[in-house]
Structure formats: C-alpha cells, structure tokens
Amino acid sequence: MNRAWVWLVLVLAVLLAVVRVYYARSNDSQKLLLNCSSELYDHDKDKAESQQYYLLMDLQADSKKVLLNYRYFTVDGTPVGSVKMQGDWQRNPAGSSYDITIRDKDEQLLQETKPAHMDYLSYISGLNLTNKSVHPMTLEMLDTNEKQQFAIVRFQPGNAVYSCRLQH
C-alpha cells in the first residue's frame, strides 16, 4: 500500500510540472511589445510635390488586450497627430499572425493637414467602428529575429509594413 502512494505522489508531481511548464509557455507567447517605424510619402498630383512624414507605431499586447499608438511627425520632428486604438487580440492557430479587434479609438490632429496614412486609418477605422462597433485588423509577423530583437510586420487593412524592435 505504501508503494502505491509513493507512485501516485510521483505521478501527480510530474503532471503538475508538465502543466506549469505548458502554462508558462502559453502565457509568454501572449505578450507582445513592438516599437515600429516607417517613412511615409504623400504625393500631390496637382502640385507635383511630395510630402514626407515619419510614423512611429507602438503595440502593447498582454493577455487578451491590445493598445496601438500611431504617432505622426514631419521630417523635422514636429508632431502632426496621433491615433490610439484599444481592443482585443488573439493568435491565429497557424502561429505567425494575430487577429486584432479594435473597440475604441482616440485621435488627435496637431497640424492643419494630415498624412494620407493617418487620413486612411482614421476613415476606415471610423467607418467600421460606426457601422459594426469594431474595427478588425490582422498583424502578420513577416520576419522575426528574437536574438537581435527585430521584427518586420504587416498590418491589414492598409498593407502597411513596419520595421520593429521587439521588447520582452
């Protein structure tokens, strides 16, 4: 009878260790922090001019909540505006992309004109939030190097590609 208890305790200890390792790994994979940047070029066909902007986009995701913060700047570093979006996220079963459901956004325009990217993001997210109460997005991890803390990602809609720094 003593041997049966020893084996039972041993099996339970191994099972508990396996569950803890699985839980720790699944929890770590559900945290993501990206600091991304992109250069934007707006071309005015009527004036044959181009305007250049810089875009900094930060993504903070933990458990099921996500925060996206798009910040727009002129070439000399003057802030143009920002779009903050909040919602939920989950990893696709394939593992290299995430579904994002935006439920709330806050916009701030600091200049008279806004970059075409900001205008598009504002329009499409506003349209979806007004008509559907959510704005669906997809984050695709195109290339990652965790050792060098680097990622290239694409957001849909918009097909925007960003160079990002991975944070842990």
Domain count, the chain: 1
State yes or no: pLDDT of 162 exceeds 70.
yes
Query: Which tops the pLDDT comparison, 47 or 60?
Result: 60
Q: What is the pLDDT of residues 113-160, one digit of tens each?
A: 889 999 999 999 999 999 999 999 999 999 999 899 999 999 998 888
User: Which tokens in the block code for residue 30?
Assistant: 């559900």
Predicted confidence at residue 47, as pLDDT, reads: 62
Structural domain of 90: 31-167
Average pLDDT over residues 84-112: 93
State yes or no: pLDDT of 95 exceeds 90.
no
Predicted confidence at residue 116, as pLDDT, reads: 92
Whether residue 13 lies inside any domain: the answer is no
Whether residue 99 lies inside any domain: the answer is yes
Predicted confidence at residue 168, as pLDDT, reads: 64
Predicted confidence at residue 15, as pLDDT, reads: 67
Residue 19 Ramachandran class (φ > 0 left, ψ -120 to 50 alpha, else beta): alpha
* Helix, strand or coil, per DSSP, at residue 28: helix
Give me the phi and psi of 77, to 5 degrees please: 95, 5
Average pLDDT over residues 53-82: 95
Spatial CA neighbour of 117 closest among 86, 161, 152: 161
Average pLDDT over residues 80-91: 96
Whether residue 125 lies inside any domain: the answer is yes
Predicted confidence at residue 22, as pLDDT, reads: 57
Whether residue 149 lies inside any domain: the answer is yes
Q: What is the pLDDT of residues 8-42, one digit of tens each?
A: 666 666 666 665 655 555 554 578 999 999 988 88
Predicted confidence at residue 69, as pLDDT, reads: 97
Whether residue 19 lies inside any domain: the answer is no
| Domain containing residue 47: CATH number | 2.40.128
Whether residue 9 lies inside any domain: the answer is no
Whether residue 12 lies inside any domain: the answer is no
Query: Which tops the pLDDT comparison, 10 or 67?
Result: 67
Predicted confidence at residue 48, as pLDDT, reads: 59
* Helix, strand or coil, per DSSP, at residue 62: strand
Predicted confidence at residue 51, as pLDDT, reads: 87
Report the Cα 7 to chain-centroid distance in Å. 47
DSSP state of 111: S
Whether residue 44 lies inside any domain: the answer is yes
Predicted confidence at residue 37, as pLDDT, reads: 92
